[in-house]
Structure 1
Amino acid sequence: MSTYAGKKAVITGGSMGMGLAIAKRLVEGSAEVLVTGRNERNLAQARTELGPGAHVVRSDTADAADIAALAATVGKTLGHVDHLFVNAGIAELAPVESTTEESYDRQFAVNTRGAFFTVQRLIPLLREGGSIVFTTSVADSTGSAGMAAYSGSKSALWSFAQVLATELVGRGIRVNAVSPGFIDTPTAGSTGLSAEERAAFHALGDAVTPMRRHGTSDEVARAALFLAVDATFTTGVKLPVDGGLGQHVAVPQA
């Protein structure tokens, strides 16, 4: 299969979960892919799963020096970028009264500031007619309890994506976003949870999602690739991948 032959893509946060699922589909379609991550174990596993069609790079989205180095690496390795997937993100759940400054800063450093300056650095490498796809979250507009800092960081990211769509349309570069709901990923969407808390969070997701299940990383990947490649007359759009959660679809009664 050579669906993406000749295309070059960068996926931040591409060593696991949704980002890795995007990378797998691109590699399977014969694209040349560069993925980033922070965890050495995840990076090693990604190298094994993606094979020689991918460049796997350690890079911390929250670190300005790493962002600058990433831009240099992308320029040297790929030369140009057709599709950029801004997927790196973290979530630390806590009510407002117990959210620490450190947790707030970590989430905004990765989800918002890091994403902003990563895109800023890579814009010169984006080929005319290319695309950017951001990973936001259903939490960017639902006001869920315990997600104040996370929701705020993702809302800011979506605002950035909308502005960028306007600024880059003249170059033929489309900018869109996927908005996942509860998705089965290694971290279950949040760091720092115990096994019991993770199980309870998973059960909650199934209960409140109208489709009564979690989505898969591959379902998010297919939506992201649709926006990146096939939606050629679409820009400034956020595509929910949330089982109806953000659209207030009624949950079926048992």
Structure 2
Amino acid sequence: MGSLDDKVAVITGGNSGIGLAIARLFVAQGARVIIVGRRDEAVKETVALLGDKASGVVGDISDITTHERVAVLARDKFGEIDIYVANAGVINIQPADKVGAEEYDQQFVTNTRGVFFGVQKIQPVMREGGSIVLISSIASDKVLPGHTVYAGTKSAIEAFARSWAVEFSARKIRVNTLCPGPTQTPILTKLGIDAETEQQFAGMIPLGRMGHAQDLANAALFLSSEASQFITGTTLKVDGGMSLT
């Protein structure tokens, strides 16, 4: 028996990094999952990896029609869903005075608007007592160099979560936020972060190591399962204590 037996989950950005770790754990715990990703080949490979409990949607979460297609698939295939994990996002580390309008808009359109309309479109097909988990960042309240715009996008979704926790409470839908610290995922390579920099990050973390995608998956499972049925509107930091330093 898994803790998510007979549950249906939608996970954006479910084909890599934290999203993939969440999808794999949810399937192992008995859930059927719909993953959403931008690249057709990556989505197909991930669905094959996850097995017959997985489905995929290819689309950009900054495009509202992607969320409409996800909601239609969820309704037509399952009737209702139980869990929505808004994980997909982008980051561009840049000093504030170097940020251009295009970079600013890209981060807010994806990280903030994408989350808002994803929840707006999926919420009508969520079962009473469902769970929404938004992936934020400790940058939302810990000042990190070059993270000004990214931090703003994540602070916004934490504000959304608090409002939604009250707004959706009549249907017993819980809304919570996960805040990772530095986590070993493929995005680090894309950002040009090498092994030496990773060691520097680890030195800033009281528990002495970088986060793993599985650490976030375990926390997402907790917030999505009956184990957290009396928790809503909260922010859970999964950062090895980095936000304390």
**TM-score scaled by length of structure 2:** 0.95
- Report the counterpart of residue 105 of structure 2 in structure 1: 105
Distance of aligned partners of 1:44 and 1:205 in 2 relative to their CA distance in 1, 3 Å threshold? farther
Q: Is the 8 A contact 2:67 2:122 kept in 1?
A: no
> 1:231: which partner in 2?
228
Q: Residues 187-215 of structure 1, C-alpha deviation per residue, up to 9 Å, x if partnerless?
A: 12x84x33xx4445423321211222111
> In the aligned structure 2, how far is the partner of 1:46 from the partner of 1:237?
30
Change (3 A) 1:2 1:36: same
- What runs of 5+ residues in structure 2 fail to find an aligned partner? none
Decide whether the 8 Å contact of 1:176 with 1:238 is kept in 2: yes
| Residue range with higher mean Cα deviation, 17-26 or 201-210 | 201-210
Please give the residue correspondences for 1:136-215 in structure 2 after superposition, counting only pairs within 5 Å: 136-188=136-188, 191=190, 193-194=191-192, 197-215=193-211
Deviation at 1:186, TM superposition (A): 1.1
Displacement after TM superposition at 1:247 (Å): 2.5
CA positional deviation for 1:57? 1.4
Contact 1:7 1:32 in 2 (8 A): yes
Q: How many angstroms apart in 2 are the aligned matches of 1:180 and 1:163?
A: 21
Unaligned runs of at least 5 residues, structure 1 = 249-254
Alignment of 1:125-136 (within 5 A): 125-136=125-136
- Secondary structure class of the residue paired with 1:236: coil
Report the Cα distance in structure 1 between the residues aligned to 2:205 and 2:41, rounded to whole angstroms: 32
Give the Cα–Cα distance (whole angstroms) in 2 for the partners of residues 83 and 161 of structure 1. Answer: 14
Identity of aligned residues (%): 38
Distance 1:121 1:53, change over 3 A: same
With the length of structure 1 as denominator, give the TM-score of the two structures. 0.91
RMSD: 1.5
Maintained 8 Å contact 1:59/1:70 = no
Give the secondary-structure state (helix, strand or coil) at the position aligned to 1:178.
strand
4+ residue runs over 3 A deviation: 197-201
